[in-house]
Amino acid sequence: MNKKSFADVPGKKKSVGFTRLLLALILLFLFNIVNAQLIFNKNEYAARREKLMEKITDGILLIRGSTIPAGDVQFYQYNNLMYLTGVEVPDVMLLVDGIEKESYLFMSLDEKQARSDGYNVKLARDPVGVSGIEHVLPRDSVASILTRKLAKSKIVYVPHSPNELMAEVSKEKRNILQKTMIEDEWDGRPNRDMQFIHKLIDRFPGVIVKDCSPIIWDLRKIKSADEIEIMREAGRIGVLGHQAVIKASGNKVTEKYLANLFEFTCKNEGADGLAYYTILMSGLNHAYGHYHKYDRTLENGDFVILDAGPDYKYYDVDISTTFPANGKFTDVQKESYELALLVSETCLKNFKPGIRLADVGQKVKEALIEKGYDPDNKKFERWYKYGGYNHSIGMAVHDGMGTFDGTDEVLKPGFVFACDIMTSADSVTSVRIEDTVLITENGCEVLSAGLPRTVKEIESFMKK
Domains 42-221 and 225-463 share a fold: no
Question: Is the separation of the CB atoms in 308 and 297 below 8 Å?
Answer: no
Q: How far apart are CA 255 and CA 261, in angstroms?
A: 10
Mean pLDDT value of segment 87-113 = 94
Strands (E), 226-309: 273-274, 279-282, 303-308
Question: Is the separation of the CB atoms in 83 and 48 below 8 Å?
Answer: yes
Mean pLDDT value of segment 37-60 = 97
> Does residue 15 carry a pLDDT above 70?
no
> Does residue 26 carry a pLDDT above 60?
no
Between β-strands 310-312 and 303-308, what pairing exists: parallel, antiparallel or unpaired?
Answer: unpaired
- DSSP3 helix / strand / coil % (the chain, rounded to 5): 45, 15, 40
Instruction: Tell me the pLDDT of the chain averaged across its residues.
Output: 92
Superfamily of domain 225-463: Creatinase/methionine aminopeptidase superfamily (3.90.230.10)
Q: How far apart are CA 313 and CA 235, in angstroms?
A: 12
Q: How far apart are CA 333 and CA 429, in angstroms?
A: 6
Binned at pLDDT 50, 70 and 90, residue 255 comes out as very high
> Does residue 22 carry a pLDDT above 50?
yes
pLDDT at 20: 56
The angle formed by the CA atoms of residues 443, 343 and 242, to the nearest 5 degrees, is 80
**pLDDT > 70 fraction of the chain, expressed in percent and rounded:** 92
Q: How does pLDDT run across 267-288, given as a tens digit for each residue?
A: 999 999 999 999 999 999 888 8
Which of 220, 278, 200, 246 lies closest to 78, judged by CA?
A: 220
Q: What ranges do the domains of the chain cover?
A: 42-221, 225-463
Lowest mean pLDDT across 13-17, 168-172, 223-227, 397-401: 13-17
Lowest mean pLDDT across 281-290, 357-366, 395-404: 281-290
Q: How does pLDDT run across 361-388, given as a tens digit for each residue?
A: 999 999 999 999 998 888 888 898 999 9
> Does residue 90 carry a pLDDT above 90?
yes
Q: Which fold has domain 42-221?
A: Creatine Amidinohydrolase; Chain A, domain 1 (3.40.350)
